[in-house]
Amino acid sequence: MAAVSDKMADLSVQEPKTATVYVDEDVGKDEPTQQGTEQSPYKTMHYAYIQTKGEAKEYLTRKAAPAGSDEAAQAAAKEWKPATKSAMKKAASLYEQHKKKVAREQELAADRKRKEEEQQKKFEEAKKVVLEEDKSLPQPIRIKLDEVGDHIKLRKADSEEKGTRVRVLGRVHRVRKQKENMFIELRDGYGIMQVLLQGKLTQTYDALILARETSMEIFGEMYEVPAGANAPLNRELHADFYKIPSNWRAAGGEDAITNRVQPGTEHATLLDLRHLTLRGDVSSSVMLVRDAVEYAFNQAYKESRIRKVSPPALVQTQVEGGATLFKFDYYGADAYLTQSSQLYLETCLPSLGDVYCIEKSFRAEKSLTRRHLSEYTHVEAELDFIDFNDLLNHIEHMICRVLEIILADPAIAEKVMKLNPEFKMPERPFMRMKYADAIEWLKEHDIPNEEGNPHAFGDDIAEAAERRMTDIINRPIFLTHFPVEIKAFYMQRDPEDQRVTESVDCLMPGVGEIVGGSMRLDDYDQLMAAFKREGLDPAPYYWYTDQRRYGSSPHGGYGLGLERFLAWLCKQHTVRDCCLYPRFMNRCKP
């Protein structure tokens, strides 16, 4: 009945077209175009009663006979009969409800119209308010929102000594009204500043329609916040003038950013709106931490006297296997997007010494797991004249040194701890576990392989099993000495066990592998045998194999996935949220 009532509430009540109204539950229609006549009957008594205000002389009804009825029953069903008393009583009750509902809607509509007129009047009055800068005030200095120093003096609440007059530019992050005052949180990518608008400044049209993400230029005096109050850097700007050019205004109402991007929105939609999602607290914090992490890697490498180089992204050789190569036409020849810069880094060792790069790598894996990307940032390094233990110690040092550098910055440390309150510096030394021991551990803990069987030596430990093991142990793990058959052709074999390579994966709780590395084959004949074993033509790799012909050396290296490192550090569920615009299978926008 309620559904019928809701439908009728939107309809205008019509005057009866005839003294007798017809209702046919089988072929009638509850539409305003119906006349209620025998040729144009309504479908229900409820609708007929409302349309005629209950003023018809009589209401005649009929409905089809049940399926399988005899001829007499079917003939009787075709006859028009007066509506029953119970049907009339129910229709009358519904009509009274309908009248109350219509009256309420009319009242609300009138109230809305009144408020809209008042709002419009308020807008028109606000448009007449014009702000002018007081030129008698001190010339402001331009500062970033996080800028501090002796050149910025704060006016204390109980002092007549003025604070520094400044000029700031930023975007509105939050707006809060308190009586006749407006408090604005302004953001510029470097910090947040609380701004206080008072008096005439709150009465302008711009102030009335101020929406989040609107850009503003604000002039005012710097104050120390009152005792008991909180604000970024314990200060606020008391504005005396501001500007908002029309093209600086952000959309409001239904199109406001808080409506388009909000908690609970489907992840695919958030990725479609990544340009807006990046303005949110979490996404912007992850990007700021990312910036700090990249800077820290550069600093840590420089401290270790490791030189930065920039290898090519367009290549004609493979590193990790043809199945994950992005192939394209390069002036009529086959070429690929690089899977890794490792081979090129190795060529730099004789002349430059230890080297590293932070570049993009590309993998055409048809994978939609939360730790896979088709384009990712690869931190790679190659170290000369080392052994396998040196390699492990170096990786451990780099990870911990990068963490030390970023956590030494209070602003970045605060963001990390807000994103990941449970974060703790990794305990050193990292746990070291050989692949063979990991297989036994997985069997002991009843963690099966991808086929559902107990793990066996030679299995490529799947992501799920690897992550379960790491999460249970709950500390960084150097998983080492993988079988030759499941690792890349260029990896050095363990002198003590020719079945396995001097290889390592660094596993972190919550995300799994973040680093993969190994000692590299440094013997020419062994490298040629590896090419043959993998079915690769060594000819296109002449520039790589020559490294073993012109003064070879024991060397090794590794690659670290920056997005995986960030997912672990910032406790993000997926690496997709740890890069600016993620690229993975079926997504190459925006």
Q: How does residue 473 score in pLDDT terms, banded at 50, 70 and 90?
A: very high
52-88 pLDDT tens trace: 888 888 999 988 878 777 777 777 778 888 988 888 8
Judged against a pLDDT cut of 50, whether residue 137 lies above it is answered with yes
Average pLDDT over residues 455-462: 92
pLDDT at res. 420: 97
**Do residues 505 and 417 both lie within one domain?**
yes
Do 549 and 467 fall within a single domain?
yes
- Residues 476-521 have pLDDT tens digits of 999 999 999 999 999 999 999 999 999 999 999 988 899 999 999 9
- Residue 16: pLDDT over 60: no
- pLDDT one-digit tens code per residue, 90-130: 988 988 999 899 899 999 998 988 888 888 898 899 999 99
242 lies in the same domain as 285 = no
Q: What is the pLDDT of residues 532-553, one digit of tens each?
A: 998 899 999 999 999 999 999 9
What value does the mean pLDDT take over residues 281-309? 97
| 354-385 pLDDT, tens digit each | 999 999 999 998 888 888 999 999 999 999 99
301 and 400 both lie in a single domain: yes
The Cα–Cα gap between 297 and 299 comes to 5
Q: Is the model's pLDDT at 136 over the cut of 80?
A: yes
**Count of C-beta atoms within a 10 Å radius of residue 274:** 18
Count of domains forming the chain: 3
Domain that holds residue 24: 20-65+73-91
Residue 321: pLDDT band with limits 50, 70, 90: low
Query: Could you give the CA distance from residue 469 to residue 440 in angstroms, rounded to a whole number?
Result: 12
Residue 334 lies in a domain: no
Residue 121 lies in a domain: no
pLDDT above 70 as % of the chain? 97
Same domain, 399 and 250: no
| 476, 480, 483, 486: CA torsion to nearest 10 | 40
Identify the pLDDT of residue 228: 86
Q: Do you find a cis peptide bond into 429, omega within 30 degrees of 0?
A: yes
pLDDT (mean) for 549-568: 96
- pLDDT averaged over the chain? 92
Is the predicted pLDDT of residue 17 greater than 60, yes or no? no
Q: Model's pTM, two decimal places?
A: 0.81
Alpha-carbon distances, residue 412 vs 143, 294, 405, 418 (angstroms)? 21, 13, 10, 10
Q: What is the CATH number of the domain that holds 177?
A: 2.40.50.140
Residues 295 and 189 in one domain: no
pLDDT for 371 equals: 86
The answer to the question of residue 540 being in a domain is: yes
CA 390 to each of CA 198, 384, 432, 435: distance values in angstroms, whole numbers, following the listed order: 64, 10, 14, 19
Could you tell me the pLDDT band of residue 18, with boundaries at 50, 70 and 90? low
> Which pLDDT belongs to residue 376?
97
Whether pLDDT at 7 is above 50: no
Whether residue 12 has pLDDT greater than 50:
no
Residue 276 predicted with pLDDT over 60: yes
pLDDT reported for residue 245: 95
Task: Assign residue 84 the CATH number of its domain.
Answer: 3.30.1910.20
Amino acid sitting at position 5: S
DSSP string covering 99-115, please?
Answer: HHHHHHHHHHHHHHHHH
Tens digits of residue pLDDT in 389-422: 999 999 999 999 999 999 999 999 999 999 999 9
DSSP label of 362: E
Q: How far is CA 180 from CA 183, 202, 412, 476, in A?
A: 10, 8, 36, 55
Instruction: Note whether residue 199 is domain-resident.
Output: yes
